[in-house]
Chains A and B, each alone.
Chain A
Amino acid sequence: MAKTLFDKVWDSHVVRSVKDGPDVFFIDRHFIHEVTSPVAFLGLESRGNSVVYPERTFATADHNTPTINQHLPVADPLSANQLDALENNAAKYGISHWGLGDKNNGIVHVVGPENGITLPGATIVCGDSHTSTHGAFGAIAFGIGTSEVEMVLSTQCIMQPKPKSMRINVNGKLGLGVTPKDVALYIISQQTTSGATGYFVEYAGDVFEDMTMEGRMTVCNLSIEMGARGGMIAPDAKTFEYLKGRSQTPKGADWDKAMTYWETLYTDEGASFDAEFNYDAADIEPMITYGTNPGMGIGVTKSIPNAEAVEGGVETYKKSLGYMSFSEGDAMIGKEIDFVFLGSCTNGRIEDFRAFCSIVEGRKKADNVTAWLVPGSHKVVDQIKAEGLDKIIDNAGFVLREPGCSACLAMNDDKIPAGKLSVSTSNRNFEGRQGPGSRTLLASPLVAAASAVEGKVTDPRTLLV
């Protein structure tokens, strides 16, 4: 029978199916970080359990780490306590741990792929909803709660009902200044913030085939923002090229054996999906959000829609615009901004810094803008320096910070002050997400760069020609 990519990977990880219940689902790779794992370890210990396969779990500190002066002790005692808990739990159970200052440290969804822990056909979970990122490699990857983190630690399985399947095809060629982030924000704007709830998405078509691995990660990362549990893309020559030789990928005969399996990972001709959508690359322009969920996005040259024109309740919509201090019909172009954030598991990779630099090179940061440029990992930092992008950043009046989740969720000191407007390459524009009272416009690194040099929301295409 013709099977989807998702079916192939899911079905091969089912230990057993519970009658009128979930599947007992085996997890190949498990990432943990300091925020959602400490209580799982407490639970494990209170039950007298241990970590069954410590070699399948990988710890990195990222969510509340500072992005300056990482060589100094962490000043916030609560953050320091969580970081210590992660380190101590990892040491106690023999789990690999990349703490603050480690050369492999960085955001979990950046360091997993760049170290070759993420593999096609694998099942990957983490107590973080953006675990969907790893689907870019043809893995089934999704976020879980802390109870499930404890399940994985103590049994290497979780109990999951199999999601429905959806395929999203985007065909054609992307226009100037249109990036993977724009493709994702466009799809989410069409699906709404909850349109893919209950589904696992496969992305297919020219646009994703043409995309780099970094771009595919950006797209899969944002799957959760339309409610999907995860998103995945069939592995191809680009995937294998990216993975080959990375520190933890299979080597030699093991690589050849893995390749034999990986080459079977595609959706068979004639396989059916529970839902399917088609979009045209030509309809996508650089995107920006205007509201308080990622589904509230429009082309950067467009105006904010009227309440009647959007799906959902009018009161919720008006509450959202009220929080943003925006009005129906407002143009987004030209709105004066206060902050720019380049980084996060969505757009904190080398390609995102290259894109940002392609605009700011030879220009200057606007005086009214505070900019935080936060690479996703130390390896990204090294690459930025190797390519001389740090000079461009410096000459344009920007400062490169140290890796971490930073202002994406503002658990550390990188908080946007109340009322301030930020153009952010991160993944969520929820109320207060970047700090209590902060207002967030989600956009690509190109839109962020153009807005940073102009001091207001700017169409990057005007600076690219």
Chain B
Amino acid sequence: MAYDKFNVLTSTAYPLPTENVDTDQIIPARFLKATERKDFDINFFRDWRFNQDGTPKADFPLNKEIYAGSKILVGGRNFGSGSSREHAAWSVYDFGLRCVISSAFADIFKNNCLNVGVLPVQVSPQFADTLFAAIMADPKTEIKVDLPNQTVTLVATGESESFKINSYKKENMLNGFDDIDYLKNIEGEIAEFATTRPF
């Protein structure tokens, strides 16, 4: 499914410093029963955003008006662990987020994000702390994520760090391409390879 190109994003951010946020929290299993990809924002962090009676939990960062409309989420270490459900990445995207920043990501979640147009930006633990502190001090803190230059910057102070992304995935994100386009283009080569497999 196509996604919007990613270039430079400047936005306020939701802070979620809890570590080891697993994909069961991002989207609980009982909301995985759809056969289409739509409206996954509704149950994004369902049990952390809402009480069992459906009323919002006012103190949860994603519910705070002051952060509303942010396109970036700064998460704690080991963000997106556990289940491979791509629904977690879909729910991030459908909620309006285009970038998740953390000092460490779980592998499958990171891959899924890249495949659906959400940029996972891994920063040092120190820089993650700097970002959290800045947001706590001023909830309207703006963060600039510059994909062409691979930098993430606190707009107000200019504090900045570079991040890694391989050049293949970077091109994909900049242009809104995906892996299937690439793979279909080398169909013949794959078919030839397949004939060499013993089983």
Chain A interface residues (CB < 8 Å from chain B): 15-16, 18-22, 24, 26, 28, 35-36, 38-39, 42-43, 46-47, 49, 52-53, 63-64, 76, 78-79, 81-82, 85, 119, 122, 127-129, 143-148, 150-151, 154-161, 163, 193-194, 197-198, 224, 227, 229, 250, 257-258, 261, 293, 312-313, 315-316, 319, 409-411, 418, 428, 430-433, 436-437
Q: Give chain B residues whose Cβ lies under 8 Å from the Cβ of A437.
A: 52
Task: Name the prevailing secondary structure of the A interface residues.
Answer: loop
Residue of A at shortest CB range from B76? Answer: A316
Q: Give the interface segment out of B66-74, B84-92, B133-141, B148-156.
A: B84-92
Q: CB distance A21 to B116 under 8 Å?
A: no
Q: Give chain A residues whose Cβ lies under 8 Å from the Cβ of B78.
A: 193-194, 197, 227
Residue of B at shortest CB range from A44? Answer: B180
| Whole-angstrom CA separation of A78 from B31 in the bound complex | 10
Q: CB distance A21 to B183 under 8 Å?
A: no
Q: Give chain A residues whose Cβ lies under 8 Å from the Cβ of B182.
A: 18, 159
Chain B interface residues (CB < 8 Å from chain A): 1, 17-20, 22, 24-25, 28-30, 32-37, 47, 52, 76-78, 81-87, 89, 104-108, 111-112, 115-116, 166-169, 178-180, 182-184, 186-187, 189-191, 193-194, 197-199
Q: CB distance B169 to A21 under 8 Å?
A: yes
| Whole-angstrom CA separation of A455 from B2 in the bound complex | 53
Q: Give chain A residues whose Cβ lies under 8 Å from the Cβ of B115.
A: 145, 147-148
Q: CB distance A261 to B33 under 8 Å?
A: no
The A/B interface has a contact count, at CB < 8 Å, of 205
| Whole-angstrom CA separation of A47 from B181 in the bound complex | 10
* 8 closest A-B pairs by CB: A21-B168, A145-B86, A143-B84, A78-B33, A147-B115, A145-B112, A38-B35, A194-B78
Partner of A312, one of B77, B85, B111: B77
| Whole-angstrom CA separation of A36 from B179 in the bound complex | 18
Partner of B179, one of A47, A158, A194, A433: A158
| Whole-angstrom CA separation of A148 from B29 in the bound complex | 20
| Whole-angstrom CA separation of A19 from B1 in the bound complex | 25
Q: CB distance B107 to A197 under 8 Å?
A: yes
Residue of A at shortest CB range from B197? Answer: A28
Can you pick out 10 interface pairs between chain A and chain B where the beta carbons lie within 8 Å of each other? Answer: A79-B33, A127-B86, A145-B85, A194-B77, A194-B81, A227-B107, A257-B198, A411-B29, A431-B47, A436-B47
